[in-house]
Structure 1
Amino acid sequence: AYLDNGTARFIDAKHIKLPKLGIVRIAGFRKLIKERLLKQIPTRIGTVTIKKTADDQFYLSMQLGSDTAFVKELPKTQSQIGIDLNLDNFLTASNGAMVANPRFYRKTKKKLAHAQRVLSRRQRRAKKEGRNLRLAKNYQKQRLIVAKLHDKIRRQRNDFLQVLSTALIKNHDLVVAEELRNRNLLKNHALSQSISDVGWRSFLNMLAYKADLYGKEFLTIDPKYTTQRCHACGSIMGQNGYKKLTLKDREWTCPICRMPHIRDWNAAVNILEKGLSKWQNPKIKKAA
């Protein structure tokens, strides 16, 4: 059988048969599934999950298994890259490339805040009139508007992260990033909203699974001194009487070798150097 587990199976490209629900029409699915249906590649369906979102949309997810690989390994490029995640730009790479921070939440913030205020007013009105919120039509309409705005932000951010992570894995054999330690930053209210908006952790998770999927390497390294260290001579700011760099210091000159630096690019180069050392040392890599 093709795409079948005995209880759930695809009838055709637009219908799937599920236990208890019977035949269900689906609006669309990933290209990978369509190709397997057309080519009749034996594929096992594992766990099947149906999820209802806050905006009343239903999504079907499946765990698939097959003796035939789902994707082909990408060709080697002989290229390695280090990336520094930051708030001014989404990331700065060791090759000098910068990716702007799209700030999806901030772009929708005013519209979302207005929609939430309307929702709160309708909630108070319904409670004052003693109506069940589930039966309050105006409240439910506004709830869907708020949910759709949140979902729009989520989808925009996810699309951005998917495209960028795929491009990095496709074009480089090794991608190195610093370990994410944003717990303390999230305690800072001024930064917490921006950090939550960029989706760093989701991005690193995407890089990790895509590297494994396509036969590439993704490593994270200890971020210690990556910002303060001059990549040219190795001297570290904040030591030997030299002033430590702060978040305001976007550009600086090394007091030892006089090399001018752009803060985030210098950090990305240091991240790559640490990653290459870890990558080329099997003992370090295994312990990580």
Structure 2
Amino acid sequence: MSDYELLLIDHPRPHIKRITLNRPEKRNALSNQLRTELFDALEHADRDQEIGVSILRGAGTCFSSGYQLGGGNDQNQPYYTPGGPGQWARHVIEGSFRIWDMAKPVIAQVHGFCLAGGSELATACDLVYVAEDAQIGYPPVRSMSPPDMQFHPWMMGLRDAMEMMLTGDSITGLEAARKGFANRAFPAEELESKVLEIAERVAKIPFELQQINKRSMHQAMEIMGIRAAVRAGADLQALAFTTEASLSYRKEFAKGVSHALSVRDRQFGDYREGEKSEGNKRG
């Protein structure tokens, strides 16, 4: 695949490939078509001897609002994952580890919303840099299930992870850097230039050595159990989908995605509902 409908590709500096999720009108929701193109672009970068590092970012107002909602995610998935209970979570986890296992480093450049599956995608990257005012969260814990890929305790520690898991609240970019989700936070207007500076430094190291550097960090995490623990989370996610609360909530999607999200967040007054409140104040 060389021509992409939902990605923009450029090479802003030598040995750097930049991949932009290009569904701004959908807040870069991760449809299976977008995911198929993304994995193809990352694999091509990993095979390209002229590329030392990839940057992943989103077009428009945010990095990504999460997976495409409203049904159909079981169709045309970008790679095969065996069926049965928990198939989607196992499929998502496999995708995260596909990025994890690539030889070349991948940097996530995060601004605006980075929610649900968008946060999982960012976490799968090797380095994460965020705008100070970014909003990172996993709101589906409020109404449907724990995450597909349960990275939270590994990246943020028990207490901060537990707070996000039990509230579904978002954290800012500044909090994300402090709590371990991200490497650093920058003012939004400086984010692009700062990420390019860091990517240039990463690309200076010989590629064949860099892949061993990357692997050494991942192997340390694997010895501590991250891969087994994240995979085990798929079973709990499948169990959550059988609860009365989750079954009842998912029926709301028949009335429209926007309706379902409003039902989820109305009593909390954030995410989509928070934007409505701000709009009413300005109006």
Structure holding more strand per residue: 1
TM-score range, shorter chain: under 0.3
Structure number with larger C-alpha Rg:
1
TM-score, normalization by structure 2: 0.26
Structure holding more helix per residue: 2
TM-score, normalization by structure 1: 0.26
